[in-house]
Amino acid sequence: MIRHRALTGATIGLLTVVLGLPGAATAGPRGADTRLCAIHPLPLPTGVALGRAQAVDPAGRLVAGIGSRVVDGVWEQVLLLWRGGRVTAVDTALAEQVVGVNASGVVTGNAFVTAAPQPWRYQDGRLTDLVVPGSVSGAWATGINGRGDIVGFGAVEATESAVVLRWPADRPGTVEVVDVLPDATPMAVLDDGTVLGYGRKSLGVSSYVGWVLRPDGRLTLLTVPGRPSAYVSAARGGWAVGSAGDEAEGGYAPVRWNLRTGATTMLDPAAGSVEGVTPDGVVLGSRAVWRDGRLTRLPAAVDVTSLGSEAIADNGTVVGWTNTGRLTPARWTGC
């Protein structure tokens, strides 16, 4: 069982540093597209050496991520929040991964406590553990919506299985176990309470399908014709995105589902793994943005050896990181 931390519910001290954004490296428009895809490094607080931006609110105003610093010779993690050129370091080493932030500034993510995963919520200056059922040996948060509802999953060692979990915003301190499919993993919760993820159609089946669970209990499966398995990785508005294929026959390719019509669109594999989608159907890959059939690669400075995107806002703002020998948080616009 997970042992709850002594700091659960405690107010976390804040260290706020105001910094200006460095100059942006830009990529010129291609073809008839006049959009200017540009990168803007995000500032790090004094004493924080590394950082990754991992989530952005739908309006693109609040960015959340994780930073690392050395204290008494030991590396520790801190939660980072950006609003424009202002970065706030939440002084806790217990937030190790951010998975989402909404427009109200509620952040959710995961940490490891005595080697077991523990989901958390950060709201109004307080970082608290999310309660987990007694049968669950470890749990992960995977998404949050505008109301503050959080979804995730828990591992049940006794049955070697997983359960879908939902933490409702209107009932703080509670958790619901949601019955969906075997080995079901939720990846997103929409503002109306619809939950999306992937799982097996039935026990003993090796292939996976995407699923959509509506607030009224209706369950819809997301598949791709001719491709044995399908995984949902993100959703927003009327769209879901993920991958579909067969490991034995060429692997997986990115896909977008229209949740209103059920239509599927296979995307350019050069986009990389799919990280997010906007209400307009713009898809974020790990290295590029797919928009109306056109792929725009995310630009970086010449000294960057690698980069990765992690989230996209409704206005197309992308957040992630670049690597120049150290990880630096970044934001892209106009892509």
Dump pLDDT digits (tens) for 237-284.
999 999 999 877 778 999 999 999 999 999 999 999 999 999 999 999
The pLDDT, as a whole number, for residue 35 is 67
The pLDDT, as a whole number, for residue 202 is 82
Contact predicate 207/200, CB 8 Å: yes
The pLDDT, as a whole number, for residue 93 is 60
Is the model more confident about 31 or about 276? 276
Q: Is the pLDDT at 145 greater than 50, yes or no?
A: yes
pLDDT digits (tens, 9 = 90+) for 69-110: 888 888 888 999 999 889 999 987 678 899 999 999 999 999
The pLDDT, as a whole number, for residue 324 is 93
Spatial separation of the C-alpha atoms in residues 170 and 274, rounded to whole Å: 31
> Taking the model in full, what pTM does it have?
0.88
pLDDT band at 205 (very low <50, low <70, confident <90, very high): confident
